Amino acid sequence: MKTDILKRNNVRVKGQGDQVLVFAHGFGCDQSVWRKVEAAFLDEYRVVLFDYVGSGKSDKSQYSTERYNSLHGYKQDVLEICAALELKNIIFIGHSVSSMIGALAAIDQPELIDKLIMIGPSPRYLNEPGYKGGFDKEDIDELLEMMEVNYKEWAKYLAPVSMQNPERPELAEDLEKLFRSNDPIIARQFAEVTFNSDVREELRKVTVPTLVLQPKFDAIVPIEIGEYIHSRVPNSEFKIMDTMGHNPHISDAEETIRCIREYLAK
């Protein structure tokens, strides 16, 4: 069973130290996005990396629409990985939708997670009266339709929007390749689950210390969302990063590392 779970999610454990950092990638990506960041912590921490089922080198045969029809299926992946490795008191570092997956895991098992670090998180991507999520329903419908009709064009469109940093086009090119490496059918289903999720009512149940990191401009998640999460997660800190785009761990690894280190040093 343990071997099956580790193989299912392509789990890798690196580094040394008693404290464990678990890095969780966002939608459309895999564990490779942490390459520059995780390297900075290997001397002091044990680092756990994994791919959600359907991403990266995970066992895609283990994917089922029933299990992964909500964020709770992905949360279960996280809890099962931690159980298989017999982890305790972890620091969970999640990007984008993984921030909310980590929050759900912390609600389920607060004794498992010592601290949460959220990078570009959003509990709800859809705009509603009194809430600016960043997308109208029509935007999401068009995005999902584009993924279904022409997945490669979707990847080509979204990568530069997500990455920003037009002066470094290689960043968007690499992200586009990463998007295109995913199974289009699974990726579309993950997108639908991600963009239609709503974790707002759960935020007040998060009791573990939490850091919310928000780039100063993010085309996917408005800056107000970071403030919204901070106002609702009781034991949280909010920091605006001096970086552009939805992927600071890729585009600005040094600042991301510094923000994480400063928080962990407190």
Active-site positions read 96, 218, 246
pLDDT exceeds cutoff 90 at 2? no
Are residues 216 and 241 in contact, defined by beta-carbon separation less than 8 angstroms?
Answer: yes
Please list, residue by residue across 196-219, b when 16 or more beta carbons sit within 10 angstroms of its beta carbon and e when fewer do: ebebbebbebbebbbbbbbbeebb
What average pLDDT does the segment 89-104 reach? 98
pLDDT-derived band at 217, boundaries 50, 70, 90: very high
**Chain segment 165-180, per-residue pLDDT in tens:** 999 999 999 999 999 9
- Which pLDDT belongs to residue 82? 98
Are residues 117 and 94 in contact, defined by beta-carbon separation less than 8 angstroms?
Answer: yes
What average pLDDT does the segment 22-37 reach? 97
Q: Which two tokens stand for residue 182?
A: 């995913």
- Sign for the pseudo-dihedral over CA of 250, 27, 173, 59: positive
CATH topology for 2-124+198-264 is Rossmann fold (3.40.50)
pLDDT exceeds cutoff 90 at 266? no
pLDDT exceeds cutoff 90 at 25? yes
pLDDT exceeds cutoff 90 at 246? yes
pLDDT exceeds cutoff 90 at 67? yes
pLDDT exceeds cutoff 90 at 1? no
Work out the percent of the chain whose per-residue pLDDT is above 90: 98
Q: What pTM value is reported for the model? A: 0.97
**Chain segment 151-168, per-residue pLDDT in tens:** 999 999 999 999 999 999
What average pLDDT does the segment 90-109 reach? 98
Are residues 249 and 37 in contact, defined by beta-carbon separation less than 8 angstroms?
Answer: yes
Domain boundaries, the chain: 2-124+198-264
pLDDT exceeds cutoff 90 at 232? yes
Report the DSSP beta bridge partners of residue 94.
Answer: 24, 118
Q: At what angle do helices 169-180 and 151-163 cross, to 10 degrees?
A: 140
pLDDT-derived band at 190, boundaries 50, 70, 90: very high
- Which pLDDT belongs to residue 213? 98
What average pLDDT does the segment 113-127 reach? 98
Report the DSSP beta bridge partners of residue 128.
Answer: 131
